[in-house]
Chains A and B, each alone.
Chain A
Amino acid sequence: SQTIHQWPATLVQPVGSPLSLECTVEGTSNPNLYWYRQAAGRGLQLLFYSVGIGQISSEVPQNLSASRPQDRQFILSSKKLLLSDSGFYLCAWTRRDYTNTEAFFGQGTRLTVV
C-alpha cells in the first residue's frame, strides 16, 4: 500500500532562519507531488507541484523553493523565513497516469515563524 511521510509535524523557527521540510512517498512510482500551504482559517494554496525528478512548477511568487531530487522525495525550502511564512504545510501525491485520482496527504507541518 502507498504511504506518504512528512516531517517534522511541528516547527517553530525565528525570522531569517532557513527552512527544510521533507516529504517522501512509498509504495508507488512516478507520482505527481504537491506542496500546499494553509494559513490559519484559510483554504489550501498550491505552492509547487512536480511531475518528475527535477521538474518543479511554482504557482505563486514567494519566499520558498522546492526540489525533487528523487522520484518519491519532495523538499520545501527557504533561505530566510518571514513571519508571513507561518502556516500549515501539506505535502500530497496523486497518480500521474490517471486524472481521476484522489490526492493523498501527509499529516502536515505546522510552522510558526517568530
Chain B
Amino acid sequence: RKEVEQDPGPFNVPEGATVAFNCTYSNSASQSFFWYRQDCRKEPKLLMSVYSSGNEDGRFTAQLNRASQYISLLIRDSKLSDSATYLCVVNKGGPGGFKTIFGAGTRLFVKA
C-alpha cells in the first residue's frame, strides 16, 4: 500500500463548480500535512498547510481527520487558472528526522 494515496482523476469541471479532492495516508506517525499545486512541466509549489481544526484560504478549504487518516481539499467557484495537478503531502517522522512524501496527485481541468 502506498504511504499517501490520492484519486488520480482527472476531474473535469466547468467554471464556477465546487470540486473536492481526497487523500489518505497510511502511517499514523505522520506529523504535518500539506496540499501542493503542480502546473504542467513545472515544479510543485505549496498551496496550503492542513491543520487539524481545518483551514481556509480564499476559495480553498483544507481539512484533516487524524482518526481516519484522511485529508481533503475543497475548491469553490473554480477558475480556469485552477487547472493543475494537486498533490497531497505528508511529513513523516523517522530515524534521523523526517521525510516528505508526496501522493501521486489529482489532475484538475476547469473548462469554460
Contacts and interface: CB of A to CB of B under 8 A. Distances in A.
A34 B43 contact: no
A52 B96 CA distance: 9
A96 B17 CA distance: 39
Interface of A: 32, 34, 36, 42-44, 46, 49, 51-52, 55, 57, 88, 90, 92, 94, 96, 99-103, 105-108, 110
Contacts of B32: 99-101
A34 B99 contact: yes
Contacts of B104: 42-44
A24 B54 CA distance: 35
In order of increasing CB-CB distance, the 4 nearest A-B pairs are: A43-B104, A105-B43, A51-B96, A44-B102
A51 B93 CA distance: 12
A49 B99 contact: yes
Bin chain B's interface residue count: 20 to 34
9 contacts: A32-B98, A44-B44, A46-B99, A46-B100, A51-B96, A55-B96, A57-B96, A103-B36, A105-B44
A52 B97 CA distance: 10
Contacts of A110: 41
A106 B45 CA distance: 10
Nearest to B98: A99
